[in-house]
Structure 1
Amino acid sequence: MVLIYVLGAASVLVPAVLVPVVATRWVPVARESRAADRLRVAVAGLTEALGRVGAALVVLLAGSAAVVTICWPLGEALSRLEPSVDHPVFDYVHARRVEGWADVNSFVTAIGDRYPLKWVTVVAAVGFVIVWRRRRWWIPLLALPLQFVVEQYTQQVLALTVNRGHPPTDLGTYPSGGCARVLLTFGTIAVLAGLTWNVPRRGRIAIATALAVLVSVEGYTRIYAEKHWLTDVVGGWIFGTLLLGVMVLAVLVADGRVRPPSRSADAAPVEVTTSA
């Protein structure tokens, strides 16, 4: 029983320690990588050809398709771990459930349900439209409902294609929609807040850390509340992270916040010769 409480504490402490390290050491390296610059080149080409709105729509649709393409085989691989990983974890938790702790987890895990997040989405969209009334107010008006719709339908596509079943106590399947919805909804709100106000770097890292802790706790509660297999939660974390990255890029493209690509240092100057 002590192990269950230790894991609950770890669901808070691990992301609280890991995210600042990733944000300070790995993210700057990734921003200056060749892959990131190639992505900027592609975005610049799309924007020049289709405009910001068209480019953002292409990023959203193509990115969502890419997420499904990645998470489909991932789900099939995780499904094979059900007998050796999911069933033992489920049986361990089920045999050691405590009524009071189960009530706490059932209350907390509801934050990832669709109904409360619908209201969070509506209130946030209205608030950002008011704040953005003198700029591109239509971006939050479209982005927040779209993140909700895109998550729902891409998750359903994966649930139908992988079709791995669910625990005997609930209908939750791969990938965990609660984890993905929390990431998409609050992650999109965080990005819009960063575009609205001049949040310092430490503030942005603190917001990202808080979001990671919230999603990690959501995964823990989904397992303890017996709504999902463990691998469903892992898949939900990966699926939500990838989809949030697509959504963030689409918002940045629509708002014109993507940095222009740097010129390739390897390109040799073209020598022009003339003949008499």
Structure 2
Amino acid sequence: MHYLNTVLAFIGHHPALAYGVVFLVSLSESLAIVGLIVPGTVIMFGVGAVVATGHLALKPVLLLAAAGAIAGDGISYWLGRHYHDDLRRMWPFSRYPGMLRMGAAFFKRHGGKSVLFGRFVGPVRPVIPVVAGMLGMRPLQFVIVNVLSAVGWALAYVLPGVFFGTSLAVAGAVSTRLAVLVFILLASIWGFVWFIRKLAALIEHRGPIWIAELHAWTKKSSSAHRLARPLKDALSIIFLRQQSEALFFLFLVLTLFVAGWGFLGVLQDVLARDPLVMADQAVYNYFQALRTPWADRVFVTVTELGDSFVNLCLAGAVLLVLLGKRCYRTAGFWAATLMGGLLGVQLLKWMIHLPRPVAIYQGASAYGFPSGHATMSVILYGFLAILLARKLPGVWRWGLFASVIVISFVIGLSRLYLGAHWLSDILGGLFIGTSWAALLGIAYLHGSADILPRRWLGLVVVLTIGLAGSWHVAQRHAKDLVFYAPRHKVQFISMAGWRSDGWRNLPAWRIDMAGEREQPLTLQWHGPADRLAADLSKKGWRHSPPLSVVSFLGLFSPDTPIENLLSLPRLHDGRAERLHLIYTTQDRRLVLRLWPSDVALTGDDLPVFVGTIAEQRHQQVADLITIVRDSGEYDRSLDEVAQTLGDGFDVRRVHRTNHEIQAENELHRLHWHGDVLLISEKGQKRTNP
């Protein structure tokens, strides 16, 4: 966040330089060959996101992006028209002759429209204007198509960035933590899918060569090192008996080696209390800071789908299909794989005795290493993928394994998020589960193959997960939301202690992602939140309008009254608001929010809530979207609320010291001198601290 603020501040102080960069990037992205190196589309998307912050104006950005694209294509066209075929002998075209051939084929197929289409087609984008000039496209025709395509390109890549940046601002208003969690989840899934695709492509391309080299190595009669001889014998047994499945064997052998090495590394760190274990606490705290009620429901559902009940139902259903189709060898391996995984997990838990972050289970399950959910998800779905992938085409085979990675990753992530396991538990479970599934897969593929009913197995898997999973989630979801709820320790103090100096122990700032301070908490309320809401509603305050189609469409109208604009909820330290009220005055509005704290007062055991009172005003984002932003005037809004609460409440104004507020005020440009309102109902007894 500090780096982002620095970048935005730099852009705000040097807007001319930023606009110049927009022009140069779009020009470079359109130049022949250079456009292959410059990631112009990505940069334009990022520029659009900066536009959403208000540091750059949308119209100049669009004009400069289009102008740069027009100039870049124009220069490329001139090069092609001036040098013609001589370009083929000039660097860099002489080094990459295939680019011109591909561009020429594209141009001949689409004619003048290729300049328009080529603007959005990555491989031919930087050479189409050159080819158009070389092949004699008329200048006037090129200029018309060039201008139209450049304008379309600017709109197509800048505007999505604007909407993305706005959505991040809106998501950050709800919860930056939630936005970051979703981003981490999607980016991780994308990364895993990308990795498995690249790995599959590498194995498909280089695998036969590796197989041939290993085959030749095993046939060499020269004396081998005593450590290499067993490996040579093992490869001779595995690969030479199954030439048709040699590539699949190689993949499983490599998987076994990598996963086994990974598990031993994690186990060493766990036993020696090395840096991975020290990172466990940091990762646990980070994920607990990401907790939100909405995400809790999602990840509790995910973890329930990975529970032993669903796994046993799926294992039993697959076993029945295999026995019914007389695939006895496959059924035996299936049962041995799952039973070995279950026993191995319990044995490792009992031997290593690594406690979980929170004591929520009994017996051997009270220990966390390795994670049973992560281990069994890899074993169950991984070995099932091995069964189904045998003799399948490469695309389907690698798709199955990519699905296993995604499923296991999401289930493991749910355990991290819910605080049921340490990071080392999850990594250990994923590695040992992968090792066991790969080992049994190698043994299974070594023998004769049963004719598996793939369609029956696929149908049974989908139906079992759908039926057993739905029933299990319906039965357990409400209980598990309580079971996995974040655990907060409540501190009890007296009323007098709170009012004298205990209020200072409560947070001074609303905490968002990674502990960043976002807004000052200028209000502390002792009592039921509904009691305060009932009194304020009599004085013109109202609950925030719910999200609806009408309120959403209001974001796109500059004439939407400020009282009708969405006031999205925000989180403090991972906790949802308990109260969210709005008071509108002319062209601005006050927004009061309360969050529960970990402090309660002795005597009545009622909690103390912390809150903020923010002033909000209209703001136009790139002349497209109307939102509200905090003005930063916290002193003025605090004075107004103090006057409103004068009757019926005991209001005391206290003051935080300058060192608590000065640095953050300068960072966020706030007007707050440290005043905090302590509010309680009149007549409450004050006991001695």
Quickly name the TM-score band, shorter chain normalised. Answer: 0.7 to 0.9
The letter for the 2-side match of 1:77 is: D
SS in 1 for 2:354: coil
Matched residue pairs, number? Answer: 232
Aligned CA distance change for structure 1 residues 117 and 110 (closer, same or farther; 3 Å): same
Q: Which has the greater radius of gyration? A: 2
Match of 1:167 among 337, 357, 382: 357
Deviations 1:76-124 (A, max 9, x none): 4144336631111111222331011111101112232222111101111
Q: Distance in 1 between matches of 2:328 and 2:349?
A: 32
2:112 alignment partner in structure 1 = none
Q: Which residue of 2 aligns with 1:190?
A: 385
Alignment of 1:196-275 (within 5 A): 198-255=391-448
For the residue of structure 1 that corresponds to 2:369, the secondary structure is coil
Higher RCO (CA < 8 A, seq sep 6+): 1
The answer for the alignment partner of 2:196 in structure 1 is 19
Identity of aligned residues (%): 18
Q: Aligned AA for 1:219? A: G
Q: How large is the RMSD of aligned CA atoms in angstroms?
A: 3.0
AA matched with 2:445: L
Secondary structure (helix, strand or coil) at the match of 2:379 reads helix
Residue 30 to residue 176, structure 1, CA distance change in 2 (3 Å): farther
What is the rounded CA distance, in whole Å, between the counterparts of 1:11 and 1:175 in structure 2?
21
Distance 2:438 2:339 in 1: 16
- Alpha carbons of structure 1 residues 4 and 38: separation in structure 2 relative to 1, 3 Å: farther
The 1-side partners of 2:400 and 2:263 are apart by: 26
Pick closer, same or farther for the CA change 1:145–1:103 going to 2, 3 Å. same
CA shift for structure 1 position 173: 0.8
> Is the CA contact 1:112–1:182 (under 8 Å) kept in the aligned structure 2?
yes
CA distance in 2, matches of 1:32, 1:113: 43
Unaligned runs of 5+ in 1: 46-63, 258-276
**Structure 2 counterparts to residues 1-276 of structure 1, below 5 A:** 1=177, 2-26=179-203, 28=207, 31=211, 34=214, 38-42=233-237, 71=263, 74-78=266-270, 79-81=273-275, 84-131=278-325, 133=326, 137-168=327-358, 170=360, 171=366, 173-195=368-390, 198-255=391-448
**Runs (5+) with no aligned partner, structure 2:** 1-176, 215-227, 241-255, 361-365, 451-689
Q: Distance in 2 between matches of 1:37 and 1:76?
A: 29
The answer to which of 160-169 and 241-250 deviates more is 160-169
Which SS does the other structure have where 2:410 is aligned?
helix
In 2, Cα distance between equivalents of 1:164 and 1:76: 13
1:167 & 1:33 partners in 2: Cα distance? Answer: 48
Higher mean alpha-carbon deviation, 100-109 vs 22-31, is at 22-31
**CA–CA distance in structure 2, aligned partners of residues 20 and 140 of structure 1:** 28
What do residues 186-234 of structure 1 show as CA deviations (whole Å, max 9, x unaligned)?
Answer: 1222222234xx5211110111111111111111111111111112111
Q: Is the 8 A contact 1:68 1:158 kept in 2?
A: no
More helix by share: 1
Q: From the two aligned structures, give the one with the greater strand fraction.
A: 2
Question: Does the CA-based 8 Å contact 1:125-1:141 persist in structure 2?
Answer: yes
Q: 1:240 to 1:83 in 2, by over 3 A?
A: closer
**Kept after mapping to 2: 8 A contact 1:72/1:161:** no
Equivalent pair of 1:180/1:237 in contact (CA under 8 Å): yes
Aligned to 1:262: none
CA–CA separation in structure 2 for the residues paired with 1:14 and 1:73: 23
Q: TM-score, normalised by structure 2?
A: 0.31
What is the CA deviation profile of residues 147-201 of structure 1, one whole-angstrom value per residue up to 9, with x for unaligned ones? 1110112222222332221111544511122111111111222222234xx5211
Gap change, CA 1:255 and 1:107, over 3 Å in 2: same
